[in-house]
Amino acid sequence: MDSKKLNVTNEEDEGASTGPLTPPYQTPKGVHDILPNDHKYHTFIKKVVRHRCRQAGFRRITTPIFEFTDVFTRGIGATSDIVSKEMYTFQDRKGRSMTLKPEGTAGVVRSYIQNGMQALPQPVELYYIEPHFRYDRPQKGRYRMFWQFGFECIGESDAALDAQVIQIAYTILKDLGIAELFHLQLNSIGDEVCRPNYINVLRDFYFGKERSLCADCKYRLEKNPLRLLDCKEEDCQILAQIAPKLVDYLCTECKAYDKDVKEFLEEMGIKFHQNNSLVRGLDYYTKTVFEFWDRNEGAQNAIGGGGRYDGLIELMGGAKTPACGFAAGMERIVAAMKREKIRVPEKDDLHVFVAQLGDEAKKKCLPLISDLREAGVRTMGALGKGAIKTQMRLADKFKVPYTLILGLTEVREGTIIIRDMSVGTQVTVPFENAVEEVVKRIGEKNLDTYTPGEVVF
Ligand code: HAM
């Protein structure tokens, strides 16, 4: 169906008010449904993240989907691309400026300060799995609503922590079967002692070369010169390659810190590439920055990134507190897993379809379906009024391994038919043995049993 028939415009939304769409409605550009086939990947990723984070002592946090805009402007930096171009900002009914969260770190830091987490034993280790929103230009792997998992380690300044955060990120990618597809890029961007000096050197270097820069970089030169180093425009990249390197201007402390991080990574057998142009798109970083780049597509489709942010807590009104963290994009991970044909557990597949005919059969089927589910058998019942033949066709479409059939004869005789759908054979068993017979065929280890755990009052 073409877009004209749907009465949908493909124009960018800026300024083009087309009024409400007529049905059938579509999602806005850059956002998408996560359909059941993709959910199995999301569920698996969440399981791995929860497991690895718990093992390392991290506890889960959820910050609100929207915050006062200042949380992000202050935290991420007013001149960053995210804040200056990509935020979904709106006024609430009292005229206060609110923003849908574009990333997780600023909100976690706000929460750390607001909830007095400084009084807890340090470091405070927190992780999250949440949707985020950026008004990015939609393209492959770049959406306006996307899911990230991330973790933050607040209250410790040792280089071993940076290495450990990287190691957890790497282990998660390994568990997901995609670690080998990505290259760890590492750099140090110095701190408040050495960076101002480097920025002056950088400004001097670009003096007189402004005409070769793209419009964004002309602005960056004035407001945020470090970002000149990772511009994706060809001409800007040529200049960035011959620009003075931050690594040559690091102070003694930052140099030693960088060396320690690398030694710890080597100790843990994690390979990295020293990338002198890596600066990251958020302004809060100090010292260590890192990203996992796709081996084929490079920086375009980084699967995740992070680093140390020792100044952010103080900047947002807390006491001086060191911290570091990481976040990864879940849609990009799912795409990589699919590309690699990685299979995840099919927890949604049905085991059994129950077909029935007649009012008596239906009455007997309802408790049977409930007993099967209780036993861990994923069961679908055809409880409508269709003929047995129609129900069997449906069972075929659902690709169930077994179908139970309860017709008028079986009700009269107190039996039920179990049909093995893969070979087309069937046996009749006593109705009261139905659950036991099905469990025997499916196998104990494949049952979907659920233990809610013990609740203590
Ligand atoms: P970030 O590099 O902006 O870092 O985002 C992390 C990851 O989120 C990216 O590497 C990418 O996989 C994914 N991502 C970002 N934007 C999009 C998008 N428009 N569509 C799809 N995926 C996207 C942060 O957000 C920092 N808060 C990470 C951090 C945590 N640093 C310290 N702690």
Please name the fold of domain 352-444.
Answer: Rossmann fold (3.40.50)
Task: Residue 262: name the closest of 254, 270, 253 by CA.
Answer: 270
Predicted confidence at residue 19, as pLDDT, reads: 60
The protein residue whose alpha carbon is closest to atom 31 in ligand 1 is 306
Mean of the per-residue pLDDT values for the chain?
92
Task: Residue 367: name the closest of 429, 453, 431, 296 by CA.
Answer: 431
Task: Residue 284: name the closest of 83, 3, 119 by CA.
Answer: 83
For the CA of 106, the nearest atom of ligand 1: 27
Residues having CB within 6 Å of any atom of ligand 1: 103-105, 134, 136, 141-143, 146, 148, 150, 152, 281-282, 302-307, 325-329, 331-332
Which tokens go with 95? 């005229």
What are the residue ranges spanned by the domains of the chain? 3-194+250-339, 352-444
Predicted confidence at residue 1, as pLDDT, reads: 35
Report residue 197: phi and psi, to 5°.
Answer: -65, -45
Ligand 1 centroid from CA 383, angstroms: 46
The protein residue whose alpha carbon is closest to atom 22 in ligand 1 is 329
Ligand 1 centroid from CA 101, angstroms: 12
Predicted confidence at residue 5, as pLDDT, reads: 36
Q: Using CA atoms, how far apart are residues 386 and 389, in angstroms rounded to an integer?
A: 8
The residue to mutate among 76, 87, 146, 187, having the most atoms of ligand 1 within 8 angstroms of its beta carbon, is: 146
Task: Residue 287: name the closest of 379, 211, 372, 187 by CA.
Answer: 187
**Residue 21: pLDDT band with limits 50, 70, 90:** low
Note the pLDDT tens digit of each residue in 406-434: 999 999 999 999 999 999 999 999 999 99
| Sign of the dihedral defined by the CA atoms of residues 23, 29, 34, 37, in that order | positive
Q: Using CA atoms, how far apart are residues 374 and 368, in angstroms rounded to an integer?
A: 10
**Residue 451: pLDDT band with limits 50, 70, 90:** confident
Which tokens go with 38? 């993709």
The protein residue whose alpha carbon is closest to atom 23 in ligand 1 is 329
Q: Using CA atoms, how far apart are residues 289 and 309, in angstroms rounded to an integer?
A: 9
- E-assigned strand segments in 234-389: 273-274, 286-294, 304-308, 323-329, 352-356, 379-381
The protein residue whose alpha carbon is closest to atom 25 in ligand 1 is 103
Ligand 1 centroid from CA 138, angstroms: 15
Predicted confidence at residue 10, as pLDDT, reads: 37
Q: Side by side, which strands form the sheet with 66-68?
A: 66-68, 97-100, 89-91
Residue appearing with tokens 């996992």: 292
Q: Which CATH number fits domain 3-194+250-339: 3.30.930.10, 3.40.50.300, 3.40.50.2000, 3.20.190.10?
A: 3.30.930.10
> Any idea which of 19-23, 176-180, 285-289, 337-341 has the lowest mean pLDDT?
19-23
Note the pLDDT tens digit of each residue in 138-155: 998 999 999 999 999 999
Whether omega before 24 lies within 30 degrees of 0, making that bond cis, reads yes
The protein residue whose alpha carbon is closest to atom 11 in ligand 1 is 329
Which tokens go with 457? 């009052």
Task: Residue 146: name the closest of 23, 327, 307 by CA.
Answer: 327
Ligand 1 centroid from CA 234, angstroms: 23
The residue to mutate among 67, 127, 148, having the most atoms of ligand 1 within 8 angstroms of its beta carbon, is: 148
Between β-strands 352-356 and 379-381, what pairing exists: parallel, antiparallel or unpaired? parallel
In order of 13, 79, 251, 334, the CA distances from 16 in angstroms are 5, 27, 51, 33
The protein residue whose alpha carbon is closest to atom 16 in ligand 1 is 142
Strand partners for 131 = 147
Residue type, 255: K
Secondary element (H or E) of residue 146? strand 145-154
For the CA of 102, the nearest atom of ligand 1: 25
